[in-house]
Amino acid sequence: MRVLGIETSCDETGIAIYDTEKGLLANTLYSQVKLHADYGGVVPELASRDHVRKTLPLIEQTLANAGLTASDIDGVAYTAGPGLIGALLVGATIGRSLAFGWNVPAIGVHHMEGHLLAPMLEDRRPEFPFVALLVSGGHTQLVRVDGIGHYELLGESVDDAAGEAFDKTAKLLGLDYPGGPRLAKLAISGRPDRFQFPRPMTDKPGLNFSFSGLKTAAAQAIAKHGDDPQTHADIARAFEDAVVDTLIIKCRRALEQTGLKRLVMAGGVSANLRLREALEATMASLGGEVFYPRPEFCTDNGAMIALAGAQRLAAGSTEGLSVQVRPRWPLVELPAI
């Protein structure tokens, strides 16, 4: 089965074609970073309008890259949530309309399920069951995964997600949008022993996260110690170290609680090199394995949507003619297949 995947949940238009027998056939991505940079963050209306302009041309380009035509597509998958409602409606409307015109089934995909399954795009794939750490701009969650749709939420952020905290702290440091990757780059030249920020909620039992206080600690350090370049680098390093340590502590707890030895990490923050190195060291010490997608599949992309959609379409799931999107959509509400 060849499935066209459409991702338009926020500020990136991702189109891909996934074949259940041959794997990923084509993947195309257009980023709106330059469009939103002047505003210091995503402007929802501008994002929606840009998806309207870019989605159909990218679909045509992706089909051409794969050497396919519309008649070769067996199903269409589109992101139905969570995300910006206007952006979601663009992809969902186009996806549902194409499926109707091509007389193939369509399926609305959960954005975070796409991230969760993204490591399956690699040659080295995790087997079920495993613990998943989902870290992105909007979500920080620990999930036990026993199969597709068999999800148990173990813990989540009670305020800012890790990626959101990265972006907000980067803005405090005067870094341009998107701030998270720029903060990580700045942290490379930071001294690890100058500042010590808290590891939130690690002194309490449980698997929930909180990052808003960590952002506040960074803001106070900036206000107190000035804004010279080295100080900013030192603060960035301390902030990154605190986030990484917090995530590692919670992952260890989740693995101990579940008795599992496999950990999957996915979402935009999973591209962070310091976090990857720390998780690899942790899993090696535990005699376990860690899996994550290559950097291009960590951020929003059509490949993960095509893959997730293909799994559900192959299992017989499909959507009706009505277009439904869900800006807020708990992962655990997904049906199992």
* Same domain, yes or no: 33 and 102: yes
Which among 292, 310, 325 is the end of a domain?
Answer: 292
Count of domains observed in the chain? 2
Tokens representing 88 are 């979601």
Judged by DSSP in three states, 79 sits in strand
257 in a domain, yes or no?
Answer: yes
Q: What is the per-residue pLDDT for 227?
A: 83
| Angle, CA of 331, 80 and 323, to the nearest 5° | 135
* Same domain, yes or no: 52 and 154: no
Which residues make up each annotated binding site? 111, 115, 134-138, 167, 180, 272, 300
317 in a domain, yes or no?
Answer: yes
Question: What is the tens place of the pLDDT at every residue in 302-320?
Answer: 999 999 999 999 999 999 9
* Same domain, yes or no: 170 and 218: yes
Which residues make up each annotated binding site for Fe cation? 111, 115, 300
* Same domain, yes or no: 150 and 287: yes
Residue 159's Cβ-count burial label (10 Å; 0-12, 13-18, 19+) is middle
* Same domain, yes or no: 81 and 190: no
287 in a domain, yes or no?
Answer: yes
* Same domain, yes or no: 301 and 246: no
The CA distance from 204 to 333, in Å, is: 28
* Same domain, yes or no: 103 and 145: no
Is the Cβ–Cβ distance between 334 and 110 less than 8 Å? yes
Mean pLDDT of 101-120: 98
* Same domain, yes or no: 145 and 271: yes
204 in a domain, yes or no?
Answer: yes
Is the Cβ–Cβ distance between 293 and 266 less than 8 Å? yes
* Same domain, yes or no: 239 and 164: yes
The CATH number assigned to the domain holding 218 equals 3.30.420.40
* Same domain, yes or no: 139 and 280: yes
What range does the domain containing 272 cover?
127-292
Tokens representing 248 are 């590692």
Alpha carbon 84 to its chain centroid, in Å, reads 14
pTM across the whole model: 0.96
Which residues make up each annotated binding site for substrate? 134-138, 167, 180, 272
* Same domain, yes or no: 27 and 158: no
Residue among 168, 172, 173, 176 at smallest CA distance from 229 = 173
Residue 69's Cβ-count burial label (10 Å; 0-12, 13-18, 19+) is exposed
* Same domain, yes or no: 138 and 46: no
Long-range Cβ contact pairs of 217-226 (< 8 A, separation 24 or more): 218/169, 218/172, 218/173, 219/169, 219/172, 221/195, 221/197, 222/172, 222/173
The CA distance from 185 to 238, in Å, is: 13
Question: What is the tens place of the pLDDT at every residue in 24-48?
Answer: 999 999 999 999 999 989 999 999 9
136 in a domain, yes or no?
Answer: yes
122 in a domain, yes or no?
Answer: no
pLDDT band with cut points at 50, 70 and 90 for residue 226: confident
